[in-house]
């Protein structure tokens, strides 16, 4: 549970609950992102978004995500000079291996330790997920999605009233089957239950594959266990991570989020209404915060609004 202050701003909207045309688009790779809407879901099932969701579930205060290792080390030195160094953790990997001098790797199981994680600031980098996040502009609200928090991700997307980009991180520049399983299932849910439309044929095709896999659990497990990422995890003795990230809604009330400095939170007709956050622009790099149980239940009972939790 986060101990810092919670700030909430909301706009009460009149009129229809959703625009007539609200689209969901899947980008199979960061290199395939062209236009970015106001809200995006970053997906790196094996393992960054699963790892960060686990960390917030065990009390992490904040995560600052960097594309490059040296950026993490530089920021860590500054934070240790300016703040209590005991509250800073360095986490991440390159090619499945923990980075020299870091406290933790990118295994979600390593972050399932409240005594180690609670109240800490995490400086984090990873081979795929952290680099994918770097392509999303600061004006985009980003949430981290994975099977571990599928329920929270679905409810947020259902309530945000915005076109959505589902960004798959990929693996070394190649498409990731496990990322597309999650993205396709989310897109299918939003189209079937929430009034969204597919933005293009690629999104529709990925959703259809995910629906087919979901109907056959053996096929779903085979995809999750034999993806390129899974093969790398197996070679490096991390088979337990594959099983861990398969768990559906282990943390159903955890929603890691990078709010934008200006977030579109709704629309009346064709006019988008924007809201400036109370504490102004987000500091660099990519700060991630998360909802706790109480605020999440309030979010579900009274949408729509974008929430920022914590001030740093």
Q: Is residue 70 part of a domain?
A: yes
Burial class of residue 285 in the structure, from the number of CB atoms within 10 Å of its CB (0-12 exposed, 13-18 middle, 19+ buried): buried
Return d(Cα 21, Cα 198) in angstroms, integer. Answer: 10
pLDDT at 159: 87
Quick one: pLDDT at residue 268?
25
Spatial strand order in the sheet of 97-98: 97-98, 88-94, 121-125, 62-65, 286-290, 256-258, 141-145, 39-43, 164-168, 23-27, 197-198
User: Is 273 inside any structural domain?
Assistant: no
- Helix 150-160, helix 293-301: angle, nearest 10: 40
What whole-number distance in Å separates Cα of residue 186 and Cα of residue 177?
14
Tokens representing 96 are 């499945």
> Tokens representing 209?
């594959």
For residue 42, the model assigns a pLDDT of 97
pLDDT of the chain, 312 residues: tens digit per residue:
323 322 222 223 333 444 457 999 999 999 999 889 999 999 999 999 999 999 999 999 989 999 999 999 999 999 888 866 679 999 999 999 999 999 999 999 999 999 999 999 999 999 999 999 999 998 899 999 999 999 999 999 998 878 999 999 999 999 999 999 999 999 999 999 999 999 999 999 999 999 999 999 999 999 999 999 999 999 999 999 999 999 999 999 999 988 864 332 222 222 222 222 222 233 334 555 554 434 434 444 443 333 332 222
- 304, part of any domain: no
**Domain assignment of residue 154, yes or no:** yes
Question: Looking at the domain assignment, is residue 275 inside a domain?
Answer: no
CATH of the domain at 132: 3.90.1560.10
Indicate the number of domains in the chain.
1
3 within domain boundaries: no
Q: Which pLDDT belongs to residue 288? A: 54
Is the residue at 9 inside a domain? Answer: no
Q: Is residue 136 part of a domain?
A: yes
Structural domain for 134, as ranges: 21-263+280-298
């Amino acid at each position: 549970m986060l101990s810092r202050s919670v700030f909430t701003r909301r706009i009460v909207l009149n009129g229809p609950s959703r625009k007539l045309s609200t689209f969901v688009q899947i980008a199979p790779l960061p290199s395939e992102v062209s236009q970015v809407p106001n809200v995006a879901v970053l997906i790196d099932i094996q393992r960054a978004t699963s790892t960060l969701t686990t960390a917030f579930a065990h009390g992490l205060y904040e995560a600052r995500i960097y594309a490059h290792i040296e950026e993490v080390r530089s920021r860590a030195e500054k934070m240790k000079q300016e703040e209590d160094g005991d509250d800073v953790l360095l986490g991440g990997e390159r090619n499945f291996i923990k980075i020299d001098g870091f406290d933790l790797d990118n295994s979600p199981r390593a972050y399932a330790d409240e005594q180690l994680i609670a109240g800490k600031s995490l400086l984090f980098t990873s081979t795929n997920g952290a680099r994918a996040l770097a392509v999303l502009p600061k004006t985009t609200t980003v949430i981290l999605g994975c099977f571990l928090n599928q329920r929270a991700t679905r409810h947020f997307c259902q309530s945000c009233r915005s076109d959505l980009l589902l960004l798959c991180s990929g693996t070394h520049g190649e498409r990731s089957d496990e990322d597309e399983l999650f993205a396709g299932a989310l897109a299918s849910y939003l189209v079937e239950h929430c009034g969204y439309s597919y933005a293009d044929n690629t999104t529709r095709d990925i959703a259809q594959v995910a629906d087919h896999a979901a109907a056959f659990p053996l096929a779903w497990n085979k995809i999750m266990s034999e993806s390129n990422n899974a093969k790398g995890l197996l070679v490096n003795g991390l088979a337990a991570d594959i099983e861990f990230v398969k768990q559906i809604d282990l943390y159903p009330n955890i929603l890691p989020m990078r709010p934008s400095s200006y977030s579109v939170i709704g629309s009346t007709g064709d006019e988008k209404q924007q809201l400036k956050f109370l504490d102004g622009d987000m500091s660099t790099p990519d700060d991630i915060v998360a909802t706790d149980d109480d605020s999440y239940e309030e979010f579900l009972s009274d949408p729509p609004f974008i929430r920022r939790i914590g001030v740093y």
